[in-house]
Amino acid sequence: MKKWLLMLFMFGMFGMQAQAKKGGGSESTIVIKYSFKGIEDGYDHNSKAVISIDGEEVYTSRVHKESSPQTITLKVPMGKFDFNLMMWAEYEGNWEEHSIDNNYSFDCAVDETFKASKKKHTLTIIFDLDEGVDFTYK
């Protein structure tokens, strides 16, 4: 009887480990690298990035100068997900979206649907103040 219970216990443990490994692949890591290009003298604003995944705000970066490149690492769901990164700028003591609506030359934003199909992806964004937004997702 003890051998039978021991065997059931061991088979149960192997089954749980296999299930845990199978379920452990439900997230991917995304490394987001962003920088600004073409900053004019006197316009190196304090800024921060606000990131939403599938409509839910998940991250706000620390405050930094636009001239300081940043790297953020986040977990995202496997499969397709809606991604939104909006840059905010501090102007005359007030925080505002870095957007055309607030008299900036273009929207410093990425609003896309991406697919997480492997354990790690990289999103590289360049906010070129002369040319606009350029990004690559790998």
Instruction: Give the C-alpha separation, 57 to 121, whole Å.
Output: 20
Q: Which CATH architecture has domain 26-137?
A: Sandwich (2.60)
CA–CA dist 125, 63 (Å, integer): 18
CA angle, 8 then 14 then 18, to 5°: 145
Least confident window among 7-16, 44-53, 82-91: 7-16
Spans of all domains in the chain: 26-137
Question: Sorting pLDDT into bands at 50, 70 and 90, what band is 78?
Answer: very high
Q: Tens digit of pLDDT for each residue in 81-127?
A: 999 999 999 999 999 999 999 988 889 999 999 999 999 999 999 99
